Chains A and B, each alone.
Chain A
Amino acid sequence: MNRNVKGMGRLSYNATLVLQAMSQGHKYGFEIMRVLRLPSGTVYPLLRRLEASEMVSSGWEDEDAAHSDRRPARRYYTLTEKGAEALEEGRRRIAAQQAALFGDLNGERGVTP
């Protein structure tokens, strides 16, 4: 991994969310923004970062499909294998953080890691 690409040595919380959204089938910027309720100024730069660090790849939507919907073709993003691994790691970390902070649902105190 390119150490110089900011924040990608260890996924940030928002980056993990973006990967998670994509893993659920949300494919383009606006859709991801809407499902995560994050501003455009956060989501698009993250997509660039993730793409630059090869965790996602992108390509244009099929022109014919877009045309039949009477709109320009969108740029679709998909998870790469590397992205999927990073997401898995990110999920574990978030789960651990949550457990530490909020404990389980029975209201027990969290465990300090």
Chain B
Amino acid sequence: MIGWVSRVFVRSAAVLVPRERRPRFLREWRAELAHEVDDVGRLGAMRLAIGAFADALAIRRIDAEHESSGRTRSAPGLRHMAGDLRVAARALRREPAFTMAAVVTLALGMGGSGAIYSLLDGVVLDPLPYPDPQQLVHISNRVPGVAADAVWGASTAQQMYYAEHASTLQSVGLFRTLGANMETPGGPVRAFGWRTTTSVFPMLGLRPMLGRLFVAEDDRPGAPPVVVLSHSIWQQQFGGDRNIVGSSITIDGRPAEVVGVLEPGGAAPLGPPGYRSDLWVPLQIDPDGYFGNNHVYTMVARLREGYDVSAAEVELANLERQLPERFPRAYSESFFDGSGFYTQAVPLKEAVVGDMARNLWILMGAVAIVLVAACANVANLLVARLESKDRELMVRRALGASRVALARYLMSEALVLSVLGGGLGLAIVWLGGPALFSIAPDSLPRIESFRLDLGTFLFIGGLAATVGVALGGYALLRSGKDTGRGLVSAGRRHSAGKKRQTMRGALVVTQIALATALVVGAGLLLESMRRLNAIDPGFDAEGVLTARLFLTPTRYDADEQMWSAYSAILERVRSIPGVVSAGMAQELPVEGNFGCTSQGFEERAVYDRLSEAGLSTCAGQERHTPGYFEAIGIPLLQGRVLTDADNLDPTRGSVVVSKSFADRFWPSENAIGKGVAPNGRNVEPFYRVVGIVGDHPAGSLDGDPAIAIYYPIVDNPDTPGNWGWWRPSSLSLAVKSDRPDPMDLLPAIRRAVNDVDPTIPIVRARPMTEVVEESIARFAFVSTLLAVAAAVALTVAAIGIYGVVSYIVSRSTGEIGMRVAVGARPAQVEALFVKRALILASCGLVIGLGLAAGLTRVLQGLLYGVERGNPVSYVAAGSVLLVAALVASWIPARRAAAVEPVVALRAE
């Protein structure tokens, strides 16, 4: 048996063969393939079958040459084609309106597809820049008992245990973000990078350009501090000095030896948006030291040969249950039960790209729909033009032009159009690409790998070729049916016209259906966007400037020192003219995700309630200064906010909680006066809740309300709580101003900070409104692009309707004349044509709405506050389409109504 693929090839090739020669062609090829497949194998049979196309074309050409022999002397091969293309180009130049319409429509379709493809290629399709990237996995933890969609990082305990015991993993690496003040020849700079385990470099295949990377010795606790620099910071801050290896640089006030410089481009796979990997220092986990339940690390592992992600996940599920036994201080059975904690492994690329992969595929689908609608439009235009050329073609035919010559001519025209469209589309991508790039949010993963390259060029080239052949084939098919057959009777001409009208109608219905589906999708997203923007976030971003301050750890190692620096800065900032209020906190609303740190409670009843409800004791544990709530606009609901006195006398032990915090832990009681303590410590003395403030979303504008507790900067000395890594050495400053642009205050704020301590860098200074926008930037990006795609599809559909009604009007001049002659009023004539258009539009609409009901399923996860079946969106989309159809049909209908009956009848 020959493979079905070969059969399909031969069958497809047969279409090219003139009908009368087809049976012999098929019989011969079947015989050839049938008995030789044993000799050549399936692939060979396929290769053999591909030759059927060459054969079919040869038969065609021989036929054509026979037909035209004696009349014209045809040029061979390429000259033929070049000639055809020249003729087609000349003909198209004579009809600029048609050519423009077709080329622009195709360019929109192909350009849109090309642009999204370039994004998709850079972000999703390109493999990660590490050796065997498919073997890399990201390991994190889910805690459904805390929050349904919370994803926690890994802990040092997990890294220790998994690296030792997981047989599915070849190596396990841990990353922790590191921001540090670094002394450079040009002065202090804020550098970012990673604390990592030694295993990270070989795992990611990162290599040194100079010196060496970490060795096991460096990772030992207490080992002399070493640092590896990135190629770019070495170039920018140290002038590419090759003698840097072995020298000492100051990081956060402490000397560290530079042991190596990474190769260019060496970076960690994950990190906050726009994060740089300037420097790398060893993590130095002490195997005999303290292990906490601190899930703040990023864990990446390389699978051992022969294992996949699911195998690793199964093994990790077993290993995680052993953690309480090995690390009893960090993990307990009750923690597992309460939080529903479990470890998950996903391919690293999936973790890097996240939901953007799905979003880009959605957009790709949308632009593909636009392209199909555009092609349907141009197909209609082509055939309409063909009909207007009926007479010319008939004459050509009568003069002896062969069908093959006619086919070549049509194909050439379609190809010229599609190549021009592709070219213009490429220009659109080339010119519009940077604009697309500029509206793409910083948080778009792998944005740095976005580029317009040969791949995009080839993609559009391939599209142009496919579209050209499809359009040419379609035109050929239509022309083959009823064009240029010589003498055509009036009756046949009429029936042929009817058939064409049906076909054109079908194409328009398709366009409308596709446009409807896109408009519904875009409508749903825009409605989500509107609702997002209408959210009362629980704070007031207007007129607020934010910036991050970093204290050098060597200068400030006690809370009191930090407090005096912060309060001195705030005092100076508040005295700047234009400043209404100012304060600081560890995390800003929307920007920070507020983490989840265990809290201790005075009352046993709280624990009982939580375990009954299957909830954990953890919450977003924040340090903040007085003035913060006023500056950011979070309202005080009850009690009081903290004051300087709470920091100057920390034994007062006062604390403020968010409404969600109060509701979760004391659902039916007043939270004021309740006892609570940080980091799960539950012995006296407790902090007392003195105030309740309003809620605000965590993570992003559409995030859940932060279950937050706000401690003072200075820790209560009577509570030896283990703040550990949760020291307030870096805070976000929020300054409320009465200026139109709060950024005007930045220079004065810089001076104020500088006056207190010139080594404190100010990083990421920006208006709070920008922080809010950025939190939904990815969503806004997808919504905007989908809305643009829908608008283009709508325009294309409107042009389609316009085209088809114009066509009907032009074909019906006689009918109009008759009607007007027997007394029809212009309005009646108009209504006649608009009605026909609306019938088509309604058919398209019904199909489109049905299509939308299915297609919007993919948007489900993107929507906010609106169901995908939201009737308003459907009705709105339907109305938009109907109005577009109305306008698009009314313009040519008006022309029809203006026809003078005498002229109309004469035309007939």
Which A residues have a C-beta under 8 Å from some C-beta of B?
Answer: 2, 4-6, 28-30, 33-34, 39-45, 48-49, 52, 66, 69, 71-75
Contact = CB atoms under 8 A, between A and B. Distances in A.
Contact of A43 (B27, B36, B50, B51): B51
A44 B65 CA distance: 18
Identify the interface centre among A42, A48, A69, A75: most chain B CB within 10 Å of its CB. A48
Contact of B54 (A40, A72, A75): A40
Identify the interface centre among B28, B36, B66: most chain A CB within 10 Å of its CB. B28
A74 B32 contact: yes
Given A40-B51, A42-B54, A44-B52, A72 B27 contact: yes
A41 B30 contact: no
Contact of B30 (A43, A48, A72): A72
B27 A44 contact: no
B4 to A, nearest CB: 17
A45 B55 contact: yes
Contacts of A30: 32, 36, 48
Contacts of A5: 62, 65
Contacts of A49: 58, 62
Of all A-B residue pairs in the complex, the 5 with the closest CB atoms, nearest first, are A40-B51, A45-B58, A41-B54, A44-B55, A71-B35
Given A4-B74, A45-B55, A48-B55, A72 B34 contact: yes
A6 B66 CA distance: 11
B256 interface: no
Nearest to B70: A4
A89 to B, nearest CB: 21
Contact of A40 (B31, B47, B66, B69): B47
B53 interface: yes
20 contacts: A2-B69, A4-B69, A5-B65, A6-B65, A41-B50, A41-B51, A44-B52, A44-B54, A45-B54, A45-B57, A48-B55, A48-B59, A52-B66, A69-B35, A71-B34, A72-B27, A72-B30, A72-B31, A73-B31, A75-B27
Contacts of A39: 47, 51
Contacts of B59: 48
A6 B60 CA distance: 13
Contacts of B69: 2, 4
Contacts of B74: 4
B19 interface: no
B15 to A, nearest CB: 17
Identify the interface centre among A28, A30, A69: most chain B CB within 10 Å of its CB. A30
B73 interface: yes
Nearest to A33: B48
A102 B663 CA distance: 97
A69 B34 CA distance: 12
A44 B58 contact: yes
Given A4-B66, A40-B55, 8 more contacts: A2-B69, A4-B74, A5-B65, A40-B52, A41-B51, A43-B51, A49-B62, A69-B35
B185 interface: no
B222 interface: no
B724 interface: no
Contacts of B96: none
A40 B34 CA distance: 15
B31 A41 contact: no
Contacts of A41: 50-51, 53-55
Nearest to A46: B58
Interface in B4-61: 24, 27-28, 30-32, 34-36, 39, 47-55, 57-59, 61
B76 interface: yes
A53 B30 CA distance: 25
Nearest to A72: B31
Contact of B31 (A2, A48, A75): A75
A107 to B, nearest CB: 39
Contacts of A48: 55, 58-59, 62
B31 A71 contact: yes
A101 B77 CA distance: 29
A33 B62 CA distance: 21
A40 B62 contact: no
Identify the interface centre among A4, A29, A49, A72: most chain B CB within 10 Å of its CB. A4
Contacts of B31: 66, 71-75
B32 A29 contact: yes
Identify the interface centre among B30, B51, B61, B76: most chain A CB within 10 Å of its CB. B51
A55 to B, nearest CB: 13
A48 B47 CA distance: 19
Contacts of A45: 54-55, 57-58
Nearest to A60: B27
Interface string B669-687: 0000000000000000000
Nearest to B69: A4
Contacts of B55: 40-41, 44-45, 48
A43 B54 CA distance: 9
A4 B50 CA distance: 26
A30 B39 CA distance: 11
B40 to A, nearest CB: 9
A59 to B, nearest CB: 11
A64 B66 CA distance: 35
A65 to B, nearest CB: 12
A28 B58 CA distance: 17
A77 B573 CA distance: 98
B188 to A, nearest CB: 69
A100 B506 CA distance: 66
A44 B28 CA distance: 11
Nearest to B28: A75
B665 to A, nearest CB: 77
Contacts of A44: 51-52, 54-55, 58
Interface in B854-881: none
Contacts of A42: 51, 54
Contacts of B76: 6
Contacts of A71: 31, 34-35
Nearest to B53: A41
A4 B30 CA distance: 30
Interface in B406-426: none
Nearest to A61: B31
A66 B36 CA distance: 14
Contacts of A74: 28, 31-32
Interface string B135-153: 0000000000000000000
Contacts of A66: 31
Identify the interface centre among A5, A41, A49, A66: most chain B CB within 10 Å of its CB. A41
B46 to A, nearest CB: 10
B51 A4 contact: no
A44 B50 CA distance: 11
A6 B79 CA distance: 13
Given A4-B73, A74-B32, A40 B50 contact: yes
B3 to A, nearest CB: 15
Contact of A4 (B49, B65, B77): B65
Contacts of B36: 30
B71 to A, nearest CB: 11
Identify the interface centre among A5, A29, A33, A42: most chain B CB within 10 Å of its CB. A29
A52 B338 CA distance: 85
Interface string B63-83: 001100100011011000000
Contacts of B34: 71-72
Contacts of A6: 61, 65, 76-77
Identify the interface centre among B32, B50, B66: most chain A CB within 10 Å of its CB. B32
Contacts of A72: 27, 30-31, 34-35
A106 to B, nearest CB: 40
A71 B49 CA distance: 18
Interface string B536-547: 000000000000
Nearest to A52: B62
A40 B13 CA distance: 13
A48 B66 CA distance: 13
B32 A28 contact: yes
A86 B48 CA distance: 28
Contacts of B53: 41
